Amino acid sequence: MPIELKIPSVGESITEVQIGEWLKAEGDLVKQDEPLAVIDSEKTTFELPAPQSGRLTKILHGTGETVKVGTVVAQFEREDGAGPPPPGGAGESRAESGQPKSEAPASELKSEAPAPEPAVEPKGGTPQKVETKAAKEPPPAEEIPGERGRERANAEVAPAAAPAGSLPGREEEVVPMTMLRRTAADRLVEAKQTMAMLTTFNEADMSAVQALRNEYQEPFEKRYQVKLGLMSFFIRAVADALKQFPQLNAEVRGHDIIYRNYFDIGVAVATERGLVVPVLRDAGRLTFAELEKAISDFARRGREGKLKPQELAGGTFTITNGGVFGSLLSTPIINPPQTGILGLHAIQDRPVAVLGQVVVRPMMYLALTYDHRIVDGREAVLFLRRIKQVVEAPARMVLEV
């Protein structure tokens, strides 16, 4: 009996998913837990594993199809019951799973050529072809008298205009949006339409953080088996600032404002299939080592498509770091229903005035986008200034001053 492969439940709010890609074709032998397909949901991407060693016998839903949770998408046979591959081999199965079929052999092409027209023998005994309706050709242009004939001749000589997409160097490719990207797009549009977003800027001198990292990187990595990065400093600084300015950790719900006494901070992670924002629960209570381990784990599993939906839900504030890609300045968009997002940018050596002297320091622009419906400009500016103060003097994180 074949085993039915069903779409598993991936969260209470997720009722349907999209088949992103079949990694195996019909007839392929696979090992237990080997990924068979990549599945996209509105929150995350995950892999559909083989339940045990055996053969993928039939694919019921192809790449790009949207199916409900619990739908049977393929059939599978155990290794001891695996029969021969389906007729046509892997090439035929790949065609059924959304991949192009190979061309038919020449012998098949010849058999599809039109049969010769039948001949009949009239009373005179000379065989003649029977002219069928489909075989009739319009008369040549020179046989059409007058102006109509000249127009017809000109039309036959003039080459037809080629579509723009078929010209060399002007090809087009249509690729369906993944469910993850569609959901992200809808939420970004929702944020622009429903929030009064405003962005304020500041800059931070990263000298003190860089000095700490240089001094303690080796013993930190040796003790905790993870590098000391920049993000943990900013997460601690954000948690500190949220305590003083709870409006940035709140949510608008109808005509009410929901204030929270916990800090679940989301960290944006770029993946090949789109941006995901896993959440660090109670981030203000985590040590630097715990933060760095969690961030590293999120980044790795995000690239592998192994983040769980519950790890992406319920954040109260978000940090995004475009600086890792070289961004100098940007205006990040809030992740609703949150009321704030902090954008980090590239560190650049720039001349700044320190105690009346022009010196070169490693500087980073900071951008805070906030929901002006419940966050006033004063709170937003002071919140960002507090982050600047904590990052420029990291001892404040320990002393809480």
- What percent of the chain has pLDDT above 70? 77
- Among all residues, which ones are annotated catalytic? 372, 376
- 148, pLDDT greater than 60: no
- 172, pLDDT greater than 60: yes
Average pLDDT over residues 17-39: 89
- What percent of the chain has pLDDT above 90? 49
Pick the more confident residue, 282 or 272: 282
Looking up tokens 């053969």 gives 55
Reading the block at residue 96, the tokens are: 């059924």
How confident is the model at residue 80, as a pLDDT? 66
Distance, CA of 208 to CA of 245 (rounded, Å): 25
Average pLDDT over residues 275-294: 94
Model confidence at 207, pLDDT cuts 50, 70, 90, reads very high
Model confidence at 228, pLDDT cuts 50, 70, 90, reads very high
CA atoms lying within 13 Å on the CB side of residue 99: 15
- 130, pLDDT greater than 70: no
Instruction: Please list the residues that pair with 76 across neighbouring strands.
Output: 3, 56
Q: Average model confidence (pLDDT) for the chain?
A: 81
Pick the more confident residue, 333 or 95: 333
Average pLDDT over residues 1-15: 80
Q: Which domains does the chain carry?
A: 3-96 (2.40.50.100), 196-399 (3.30.559.10)
CA angle 284, 367, 319 (to 5 degrees): 35
Pick the more confident residue, 398 or 247: 247
- 153, pLDDT greater than 80: no
21-30, 134-143, 271-280 — most confident range: 21-30
- 12, pLDDT greater than 70: no
Model confidence at 165, pLDDT cuts 50, 70, 90, reads low
CA-to-CA separations, 354 to 201, 208, 361, 388, in angstroms, rounded: 20, 14, 10, 15
Model confidence at 389, pLDDT cuts 50, 70, 90, reads very high
Pick the more confident residue, 195 or 109: 195
